[in-house]
């Protein structure tokens, strides 16, 4: 009986290792192929994510809120925002409600890049990447990724992630 338990545990660990390695590979391929998909717009996948997040609001988002939403550190986001400001995609300014906080918003040029250039390329990328996936497949994949993300966020909290870490 104990030997059977050990075999089940080993099988689960082998599956877990394969699953996490495939997630790692997918993340790397998303970065590589996704960046190629939007490079003609002067964007990377990280910049695509920032513009996507900012496209949901006209007022902009605080750096802290944006970091939490994207699950990256403030430090990594600050460098990215700086590059995007130099490219003219975003601007940042002190938050009128809290002077200690900075709001990041899309510039008119950034919104034009997002709406007229990037979105069509991203849609095409999604179509290609999800080829052979039914709507049901996509719903199930999303369900399991959300479940995994929730578990990882609990681990992050249990490990004592600080506000400075912002989950990344």
* Any domain includes 2: no
Query: Is 38:46 a contact under the CB 8 Å cutoff?
Result: no
* Any domain includes 95: yes
* Any domain includes 3: no
pLDDT higher than 50, residue 167: no
* Any domain includes 6: no
Question: What does the mean pLDDT of the chain come to?
Answer: 92
State the residue range of the domain holding 48. 21-158
Q: State the CB neighbour count (10 A cutoff) for residue 166.
A: 23
**pLDDT of 166:** 45
* Any domain includes 25: yes
Query: Is 44:35 a contact under the CB 8 Å cutoff?
Result: yes
Number of helical H runs and strand E runs in the chain: 7, 3
127-162 pLDDT per residue, tens: 999 999 999 999 999 999 999 999 999 999 999 876
pLDDT band at 168 (very low <50, low <70, confident <90, very high): very low
Total domain count, the chain:
1
Q: How far apart are CA 91 and CA 31, in angstroms?
A: 24
Q: What is the largest CA-CA distance in the chain?
A: 66
CATH value at residue 54:
1.10.10.10
């Amino acid at each position: 009986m104990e030997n059977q338990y050990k075999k089940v545990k080993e099988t689960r660990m082998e599956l877990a290792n394969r699953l996490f390695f495939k997630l790692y590979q997918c993340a790397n391929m998303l970065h590589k192929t996704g960046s190629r998909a939007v490079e003609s717009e002067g964007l990377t996948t990280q910049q695509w994510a920032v513009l996507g997040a900012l496209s949901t609001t006209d007022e902009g988002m605080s750096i802290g809120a944006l970091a939490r939403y994207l699950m990256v550190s403030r430090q990594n986001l600050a460098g990215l925002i700086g590059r995007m400001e130099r490219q003219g995609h975003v601007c940042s300014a002190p938050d009128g409600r809290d002077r200690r906080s900075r709001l990041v918003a899309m510039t008119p040029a950034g919104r034009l890049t997002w709406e007229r250039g990037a979105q069509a390329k991203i849609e095409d990328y999604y179509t290609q990447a999800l080829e052979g996936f039914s709507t049901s497949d996509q719903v199930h994949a999303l369900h399991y990724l959300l479940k995994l993300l929730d578990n990882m966020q609990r681990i992050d909290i249990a490990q004592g992630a600080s506000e400075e870490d912002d989950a990344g």
